[in-house]
Amino acid sequence: MDILVSFCNVRLPGRPALALLEPNTSDCRVLQLPNEVPRRLSITGLAASAHYLYVALPGAPTDLSKLLVLDRADLRLLNYYHFRSVVDVHSLWVSGERLYVVSTGTDEVIELQMRGAEVLAETVFWRPEPGGPRADLYHLNAIYGWSGELLVAGFGKKTGEIWSLTRDGFVFNITRGEKIASGIPHPHSLIVINDTLAYCESGKMAVHAIDRAHVQHLPGYARGL
């Protein structure tokens, strides 16, 4: 089974943005995206349904982000959607005809109501501080659906001028309104493996299971699972 890999911080036009990795042989095949897609392309979120591949494009730090909806079978471009409120998109999760989007630049999870590849509505679904400013104060960066509930990860409230000083990252169950893990240095990405939630503990160059009993150290600042 091939693994779909996305690339962020791509600075030169025409460099790869999506590729398929064959894990047994380590062969990597760059995917050719539709001509309508910009030549300089960074990707910070992927999600897939039975028929569609959703691709998040962050844009400049203060610009509104964009969404590609591709045909999963042949990567035809079906929709090139300009978000109305999402800034610095970081993660996507699809559930039925709803697509949940992490808007890192505004500390929000945004819900898109879909009909096929068409976006019908875009609304705010959750914020860590409902009355707080629309700014990157918690650095939300990952969303995941597990057993019918939505989980989100973030760095925790910013305590200084730079994010490297922040060490109280968290995993939060939006559905129940419960924090299920805290004190994580720079969590990124969420995934369930054998009924156990795992995440990147980027600040310690490791991958952790939620029970903290299992850890795998890595050679760099891991950001995706």
CA distance 207 to 200: 4
Token look-up 């409902």 returns 130
Share of the chain above pLDDT 70, in %: 98
Q: State the pLDDT at residue 212.
A: 65
Alpha carbon of 159 to those of 28, 146, 187: distances in Å?
Answer: 40, 30, 16
Interval 83-119: pLDDT, tens: 999 999 999 999 999 999 999 999 999 999 999 999 9
The domains of the chain are located at 41-217
Can you give the length of the chain in residues? 225
Q: How far apart are CA 179 and CA 162, in angstroms?
A: 24
Per-residue pLDDT of 115-147, as tens digits, reads 999 999 999 999 999 999 999 999 999 999 999
- pLDDT exceeds 90 at position 68: yes
Q: What is the pTM of this model?
A: 0.92
In 3-state terms, what secondary structure has residue 77? Answer: strand
Q: Is the pLDDT of residue 167 over 80?
A: no
Give the architecture-level CATH label for domain 41-217.
6 Propeller (2.120)
Both tokens assigned to 49: 């349904």
Q: Give me the DSSP letters along 193-211.
A: ETTEEEEEEGGGTEEEETT
